[in-house]
Each structure stands twice: as C-alpha cells, then as structure tokens.
Structure 1
Amino acid sequence: ALGYRTWLFDLAQRVANASREGGFLGIGGDAVDAREQGLLDALKTALEL
C-alpha cells in the first residue's frame, strides 16, 4: 500500500512540475504555483506520507 501511495504522489508531483507558471516567453516563473503546492501538501497528508 505504501508503494502505491508513493507512486500516486510522485505522479502528482510530475504533473504539477510539467510546465512553468508565470514568467515571460518561458523565462522565469515557478515550476509549481501556490495552489498546486497546496494541493500537493493536502494530497501528501491524505496519503499519510
């Protein structure tokens, strides 16, 4: 069960990091914005990781 939860969280992190937010013409910006980070934090708590 731990392996599945870890895999699921890793997948969510990869999706969140798939594109940058903000910046100009792909320069600068953040890999994960505040809303995405909040979701990742909540998911990590829910999955008890």
Structure 2
Amino acid sequence: MSEFHKSTYSHAHGDCVEVAEGSPTLVRDSRHRSEATLSFSAHEWTALVADIDAF
C-alpha cells in the first residue's frame, strides 16, 4: 500500500482529498484524516477517474 498523497492541483488551504494508490485504493478528506476513508477496487478507481476526466 502506498502512502497517502495530495494532488498537485491542491490549494495551500488544504481543502482536498488524499489518495493512497494500491489494492485497494483509499481516499480520505485531508482536513479530517481520522474520519471515514473510502475504499475502491482497481476497477472502481479506474472508472471513477475516467468519469471525472470526462467533465
């Protein structure tokens, strides 16, 4: 499992998500790290990123 990292598009304010890419890929709110973490399979993560890129 990789460590969590922020997007290079994140602002200095810290309003972003952090991602730990691996199996599974984990996503969390950078302001509330100890709270809920979303978990995605490789297939789900690929589909989510593709859908976001479509906007």
Class of the TM-score when normalised by the shorter of the 2 chains: 0.3 to 0.5
Higher-Rg member (1/2): 1
More helix by share: 1
TM-score by length of 1: 0.33
Which structure is higher in RCO with an 8 Å CA cutoff and minimum separation 6? 1
Structure with the bigger percentage of strand: 2
